[in-house]
Chain A
Amino acid sequence: MGVFNNLLLACLLMPLLHAYVVINSQDYMDVASAIFYANANGDVNYLIFPGDDYTLSLMQIGNRGSILLVESPGKPVFAGFRGALEAEGNRVELISSTGTQLNLELARKSGVRNFIITDSVYGHNIVSLVAYAKSTHAYLIFANKSNVGEVASFLSSNRPDSVMLYGILDEEVVNAVEGLGVGTETINNGDKYEDNIEIVDRYLSSNPELKDVLLSDGNVLEVSINTGDVPVVLVSTVIPDSTYNFMLENARDGRISAATLIGSTNLDPVYDMTKKVNTQLVDKRLRVLVKFGQGATGGSGEVQPLSTFPLPSPFAAVSLDSAAYNPASGAFELVYSNKGNAQAFVKSSIQVLLNGQQVGTIGDDERYAIRRGESKGVRYLFENPGEGQLSINDTTYYGVSMLSFDKAFLKYMDVGRISFVDQSSMALSDASYSPLEDKLAVKVRNNGTSEVFYRISVSYINDEGITVYDEEQVRNISAGRNEILSLGGVLKLPMDKADKTRMNVTAAYGAREAFLEKRAHADVIIEGFPWWILLILLMILLALA
């Protein structure tokens, strides 16, 4: 009977066991999800690249027995591929889903307990993480503020062993994951090269037998990257000092003996780096090869370009939208916006001109961040600029890296004098939080005579320390209006911590969306566990008995 049970179990599990994952999608998130799924489970992944030949792909796949086909419902590379695979004698399980939905579906299916969370906009993070994720049996989850609820819910119900937050993430994501109470670690140096070096260093430390790395700009996936057998060091047209030093030190220490550049893009800086590294080495040399093409014997025999799959690149698009001098505050008030798809780091230097003559310089000592889609007001104190026509000459540097700028603009603008005193007034009251529902409710009241813009943040403190949730969204409320604001699924306060936690809610507000400089606070009453429900249930049970 025991043998029969085991056979039955094996038969039931058979369709679920795959050693070969075929990826048929033109969506990079689908492709990345399936690659990380396969690697985390020890399966082989076969990516159909855009432009691949249908017949050639079928020949290469052949009969693998059992295949998991991950296929985009709307944008597969090949249509009708399931039938073609079955005609080759394969048993095919089809997953037809896409985007973040597929990402979490494969996370559930993988059964793994280690997760890495990154923002899908940063395509180079996918390249940086493939090998590390494979070596740690981890799966990659894409998260941003728009799907943070689903991600937090998934993690909360799956109780992971480890979660790594990698790269720049929306604050909502960081707060939600850190609030789950699972062990998290973070790699975020604000720069893709620094993050990359840190993850490759970790990989090499835990896989000291491997002395090879791949070199890539992180803009595409290629089969050697997809296998996850060798970590990728990011390079570019200008190789950062930190990357050069990393290669030099590891070559000197014998941790890296060889590197393979994927494709000929960036061959020039890599060649230059190799020469410089080898000049510094005394008794050894770094070996660098360029993987430049592919060809099939038995076919035409032509040497073809490498098959690659493009990944998205983050970009910032910062502009100066308005500038005014406010005599009431004795400051220039400038409003910048970021219309890019990624967070921007910004630093400005601004010449102040009076009747065309420079009378001073204002600007930033440190770079600051503007989130994607955000308008941000910046105030520069400047007392008594004098009478006459004011203008500014603004040189602003910005980029998606915290450490280096890759873009800049120069803007000359006449500046009006607008005396503005923010007389907005709002209050928060009647704040309560239900740990059972993970739901916060707070009454918002606009006490002033004009519209108010505000952004909510919630913090709580207990024996685990302080947890902060900053809402990215800027809300507005009309004059004289009261509203009940409800936030659900983001605070993640464990029920058993409820009676030992202090919580408060804060609104940063103002009459102008870009200048939310006033604050309103309220303490939050945390509801205890509704024991009376248990009591009623107990009484019902007793009555039934």
Chain B
Amino acid sequence: MNKGLMLAAFAVLLLGSAFAIPQNSSATAGTTGNYTRQITAAGSVYIEGGNVTETNVSRTGSTEKWGAFYGNVTAGLTLAQSATAAPVYTWAWNLANGGEVCASTGSTFVWAAVVPTAASFIDALWSFIPADVDSATNTFTDASASYAFAGDGSNTTTGVFTYDDVGANTWETFAVNESASPASKDDVAFCVNISATNNRWDAVTGGYQLMVATNETANTLETYYFYVELNA
């Protein structure tokens, strides 16, 4: 056997978390949880969730139409004999390389022909009343949010900025469809560009922070699947 076989290993760290978005500062935080979860460990490739703050917010003063996720993305391309061996050399994938993190209720989101969407589609699919102050129509108010998946040129779609730690519009969540006429929630993805320099709401620099629509009916939940495109 060739003992000198060297493996290229690529490591990604995604620290993912979620919280409901308070609409105003009077919302009271509930419990705070902290966990470190090893999502998978295969070779030197791993993705793990990290310090999650779960905020339970009373009905008053909060929206149940939206949820949010945030986390870190780090990666590295290493030359090593095995997953556990010390690397001979490492090429760091860094946040400046860019990419997107997306969340969709679609378990099999089709990425080949991503197209822009409109806030009205989101309202219709999630049965939000467009006139509500927190409807998609009144939330995704930027009609020219830019995005660029590999293979596409720059495009624009509907988007909304979420705040950094000082309340400045920083992270733009943009929504896309997997087809020109989405028929279900599964056809919609909420995405954000990975950033190396933006501060998140929790004052951590870099990573991602995005907002997703949720089912506002009581005692229901919605499963989101998370995707990341790392610019290669």
Contacts and interface: CB of A to CB of B under 8 A. Distances in A.
Contacts of B27: none
Contacts of B112: 210-212, 256-258, 287
Contacts of A303: 14, 16-18, 39, 49, 52, 69, 71, 226
Contact of B151 (A60, A272, A285, A301): A285
A227 interface: yes
Contact of A288 (B46, B47, B214, B229): B229
A59 B10 CA distance: 37
Contacts of A268: 7-11, 43-45, 77
Interface in B182-232: 212, 214-215, 219-230, 232
Contacts of B232: 271, 274-275, 278, 288
A369 interface: no
Contacts of B45: 264-268
Interface stretch (A290-298, A509-517, A522-530): A290-298
Contacts of A267: 10, 12, 45
B1 A293 contact: no
Nearest to A131: B108
Nearest to A303: B16
Contact of A290 (B11, B20, B149, B230): B230
Interface string B31-65: 00101010110111111010010100000000000
Nearest to A279: B232
A297 B18 contact: yes
B194 to A, nearest CB: 12
Interface in B49-105: 49, 52, 54, 67, 69, 71, 77, 102-103
Q: Is the interface of B mostly helix, strand, loop or mixed?
A: strand
Contacts of B229: 287-290
A223 interface: yes
Contacts of A293: 14, 16, 39, 47, 49, 225-226
Given A271-B77, A295-B223, A284 B151 contact: yes
Contacts of B163: none
B223 A305 contact: no
Given A257-B113, A268-B43, A293-B226, A301 B77 contact: no
Given A264-B46, A288-B229, A298-B215, A271 B110 contact: no
B107 interface: yes
For A263, A268, A288, the residue with the greatest tally of chain B CB atoms inside 10 Å of its CB is A268
A292 B47 contact: yes
Given A258-B110, A268-B45, A295 B220 contact: no
A538 interface: no
Given A274-B232, A288-B150, A288-B229, A302 B47 contact: no
28 contacts: A211-B110, A211-B112, A212-B110, A257-B112, A264-B42, A267-B45, A271-B77, A272-B8, A287-B111, A287-B112, A288-B150, A289-B111, A290-B227, A290-B228, A292-B228, A293-B39, A295-B16, A295-B69, A297-B224, A298-B220, A300-B33, A301-B67, A302-B17, A302-B18, A302-B35, A303-B39, A305-B39, A305-B47
Interface of A: 56, 59-60, 210-212, 214, 223-224, 227, 229-230, 237, 256-258, 260, 263-269, 271-272, 274-275, 278, 284-306, 408
Interface of B: 1, 7-12, 14, 16-20, 33, 35, 37, 39-40, 42-47, 49, 52, 54, 67, 69, 71, 77, 102-103, 107-113, 149-151, 212, 214-215, 219-230, 232
